[in-house]
Structure 1
């Protein structure tokens, strides 16, 4: 069985402490697509529900899934507080096999870059295409080299305080190899002067400086129209200084 080696318990805690809510500008951007969708919405790789739960609160018909059990546990905990019962499940994007067809599928925050191998990217795009209605729209972000940390090869540290008095010490090292950014994260839960728990995770993010790689794959899969959009302005085109490029893909 396929198993995710990242986004475990301590990482999820830091994620919630550092990113408890979707950025307002990004949320309004994706909400504008949701408001135009005349049918169900799907958010693959939905994480802790930063986008999904507020949309569900606004009564959008939204479903979601993620490959991280700790992330989904946090999502369900937050949903319970809000008296929400979202249609969310555990799974990998390449293995998506639902009977539902969606009017909008979106992947915010550069999460699509976590799929790094070309064959997996092709499978993911094909699966998404097959789960769209005939007039459906797929919207996602891809990161450029401008999003890569400036301090490559240097350890960086941060401290994340918890309500119980303990804290998580995060040490990170980023490296770049062609179009793949490798990031090693060491998470240490510290209580008093003792390390209670340690998790070490290695992330790989695919960088898309040249959008033609994805444009060609999207066309091969069958998307009839693909438009590059500036994050987060639907009326503007991306420029060379942008950290993210939004792909707007019509089936």
Structure 2
């Protein structure tokens, strides 16, 4: 069976699959992430590509997008195009599995940045991550702007800002579109133990789709 992991990153999931003998291919847009993956698994089959433009010419028995990565696509038009793309890459009777974050995972709104992590680097610098959260009820978008600061003792020597966003889903929000694009069976679980999702009181929905 052929497996595809889009958005495979540095191989946190792909490498263990490969080590267990599975025929798996990874795809990611980040050359840096794929370089790290190849350092861990030089024989891994990986392709650098945009998820919407990827076309290997083959179809897969099993496709998975892990760790709620689908929630990172807060532009819902683009998100639906990506799900359509996964359907096109799937063999008949294959399975597409992905997880999303839910409204139960909403963070409290913050008035100002809070320090989340402070670590010492091998070189003796201090790296600090600051973040604040606010939620848009209308779009179901969790905004989490972040600031990374690097200090040499008390002197700030480098600063980087990131605008991190996630779409938080409600049960029933994605299902109609998955059926619309051609999946015949869509099952939604509330955990990796495959407990059927019955409400929004879970921090993850795990979708298993086939046609």
TM-score of the alignment, normalized to the shorter chain, above 0.5? yes
Q: Are 1:118 and 2:76 counterparts? A: yes
Q: Is the 8 A contact 2:150 2:157 kept in 1?
A: yes
- The residue aligned with 1:241 is 201
User: Superposed, which structure 2 residues align to 1:114-193 within 5 Å?
Assistant: 114-157=72-115, 158-178=117-137, 179-193=140-154
> Contact 1:152 / 1:176 at 8 angstroms: preserved in 2?
no
Instruction: After superposing the two structures, state which structure 1 stretch, 60-69 or 213-222, moved more.
Output: 60-69
* Residues 34-113 of structure 1 mapped to structure 2, 5 A cutoff: 39-79=1-41, 84-113=42-71
Q: State which structure, 1 or 2, has the greater radius of gyration over its C-alpha atoms.
A: 2
Structure 1 residue 145 displacement after superposition: 1.4
- Gap change, CA 1:136 and 1:167, over 3 Å in 2: farther
- Name segments (4+ residues, structure 1) moved above 4 Å: none
Unaligned runs of 5+ in 1: 1-38
Give 1:92 shift: 2.6
**1:205 aligned residue:** 166
CA distance in 1, matches of 2:110, 2:6: 30
Question: How far apart are residue 203 of structure 1 and its match?
Answer: 1.6
Q: Distance in 1 between matches of 2:161 and 2:121?
A: 19
Residue 63 of structure 1, CA deviation = 1.1
1: CA distance, partners of 2:118 / 2:128: 5
How far is the alpha carbon of 1:173 from its aligned partner?
Answer: 1.3
Q: 1:108 to 1:152 in 2, by over 3 A?
A: farther
Q: TM-score, length-normalised on structure 1?
A: 0.76
Q: 1 or 2, which has the higher helix percentage?
A: 1
Secondary structure in structure 2 of the residue aligned to 1:109: coil
After TM superposition, the score normalised by the length of structure 2 is: 0.89
3-state SS, counterpart of residue 133 of structure 1: strand
RMSD, aligned α-carbons: 1.8
The corresponding residue for 1:15 is none
Secondary structure at the aligned position of 1:93 is classed as: coil
Residue 198 of structure 1, CA deviation: 2.0
- In the alignment, what sits opposite 1:21? none
